[in-house]
């Protein structure tokens, strides 16, 4: 409350108003866009901008956080209708309120860019992933997502979180007002989490006794390859810990539970403190995704200097890790062999300079504010 009063004491109405569309909610909501918005907008200068996030009501617990105002948009908890209903109401709210800039995150948020342009609203659109490639969507949903992608071309400025996506849009004909700006991460105080043995004990774990993977339980994350590889590797005294909740994917989750053995632990969704504790104490972090933009969980694992093994998809190769950090996508035998090599080698790398140079939130938030200033001065 004190923080809110401090912000209200400033003349907020004279500041440019930035509306955010795309995150279901934040802070502490699972998801790539949600984690991105949580990291980014707490660092945008609130003395220069008034930030208002339009989020889905059931995912939003706060009205005000870190200088950010939240407008809770009602929607329904059905896979194919939740985001469309939210996007429609959010679009109408933007037209009514006429913010100085609308910043859209994620492909499905692009559906109403044409409407924003009719009303002469300025739009920044961040392209996080090619969602229409994901197996969880049916043909009609993929068709709509491709239409959304075409709407991105109408945005005043396009941001892509990977260079591959930057090339993709340039091949579509976008040659100006587009740039690559990746997801970000901060360097944590690792010692703060390494000593949380009481949390590890709750799951029957100890330092360097488990392999970790983190993310929403969806087919594109390809958890079945991780479980199969873990069983093939047959590592004595090592558990596999899967952190994440199933999101409209009950059948896939049931399949994974059936595939797993007694050494595989499904924690469900955990708070940040607990996830960070698992990063700080794991022996290996694995990410087996078939499709990705730029995974926040991987950046977080690198910030904790985890020994990582990731699938050799373009999004992961672009990050530029050494070859021994990659395995062949959807190949449980290659992953099993590399798990054994990493467990027994106990190799450690320090990624601190790598993170500061390429993925530190401070640098990324400054780049975003430069884009806002350019559009506001038009």
Q: Contact at 8 Å (CB) between 317 and 163?
A: no
Is pLDDT at 11 greater than 70 in this prediction?
no
Least confident of 124-133, 217-226, 240-249: 240-249
Q: What is the mean pLDDT of residues 203-210?
A: 95
Is pLDDT at 13 greater than 70 in this prediction?
no
Q: Does domain 2-184+360-376 have CATH number 3.40.50.1970?
A: no
* pLDDT for position 80: 78
Count Cβ neighbours within 10 Å for each residue of 49-62 and write b for 16 or more, e otherwise.
Answer: bbbbbbbbeebbeb
**Confidence (pTM):** 0.90
Least confident of 8-22, 230-244, 255-269: 8-22
What is the CATH superfamily name and number for domain 191-357?
Glycogen Phosphorylase B; (3.40.50.2000)
Mean pLDDT computed over every residue of the chain: 93
Range(s) of the chain covered by CATH 3.40.50.2000 = 2-184+360-376, 191-357
* pLDDT for position 322: 94
* pLDDT for position 14: 86
pLDDT over 70, % of the chain: 96
pLDDT in tens, 49-85: 999 999 999 999 999 999 999 999 998 877 778 999 9
* pLDDT for position 7: 54
pLDDT in tens, 255-264: 999 999 999 9
* Alpha helices (H) along 123-177: 139-152, 163-171
Of the candidates 251, 347, 337, the residue with the CA atom closest to the CA atom of residue 308 = 347
């Amino acid at each position: 409350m004190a923080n809110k009063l401090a912000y209200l004491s400033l003349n907020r109405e004279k500041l440019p108003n930035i509306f955010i569309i795309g995150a279901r909610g934040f802070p502490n909501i699972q998801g790539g866009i949600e984690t991105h918005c949580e990291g980014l907008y707490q660092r945008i200068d609130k003395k220069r901008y008034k930030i208002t996030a339009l989020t889905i009501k059931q995912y939003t617990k706060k009205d005000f956080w870190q200088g950010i105002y939240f407008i809770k948009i009602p929607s329904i908890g059905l896979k194919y209708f939740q985001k469309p209903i939210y996007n429609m109401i959010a679009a109408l709210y933007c037209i009514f309120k006429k913010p100085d800039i609308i910043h859209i995150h994620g492909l499905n948020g692009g559906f109403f860019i044409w409407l924003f342009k009719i009303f002469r609203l300025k739009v920044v659109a961040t392209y996080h992933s090619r969602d229409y490639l994901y197996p969880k969507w049916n043909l009609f949903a993929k068709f709509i997502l491709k239409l959304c992608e075409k709407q991105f071309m109408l945005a005043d400025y396009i941001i892509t979180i990977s260079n591959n996506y930057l090339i993709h849009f340039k091949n579509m004909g976008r040659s100006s007002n587009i740039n690559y700006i990746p997801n970000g991460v901060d360097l944590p105080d690792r010692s703060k989490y390494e000593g949380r043995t009481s949390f590890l004990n709750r799951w029957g774990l100890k330092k360097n006794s488990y392999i970790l993977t983190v993310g929403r339980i969806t087919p594109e994350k390809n958890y079945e390859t991780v479980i199969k590889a873990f069983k093939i590797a047959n590592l004595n005294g090592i558990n596999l810990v899967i952190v994440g909740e199933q999101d409209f994917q009950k059948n896939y989750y049931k399949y994974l539970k059936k595939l797993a053995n007694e050494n595989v632990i499904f924690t469900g969704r955990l708070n940040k403190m607990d996830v960070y504790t698992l990063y700080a104490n794991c022996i290996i972090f694995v990410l087996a995704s078939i499709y990705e933009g730029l995974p926040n969980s991987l950046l977080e694992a690198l910030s904790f200097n985890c020994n990582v093994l990731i699938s050799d998809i373009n999004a992961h190769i672009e990050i530029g890790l050494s070859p021994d950090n990659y395995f062949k996508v959807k190949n449980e035998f290659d992953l099993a062999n590399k798990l054994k090599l990493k467990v027994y080698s106990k190799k450690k790398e320090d990624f601190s300079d790598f993170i500061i140079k390429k993925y530190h939130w401070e640098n990324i938030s400054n780049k975003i504010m430069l884009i806002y200033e350019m559009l506001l001065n038009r």
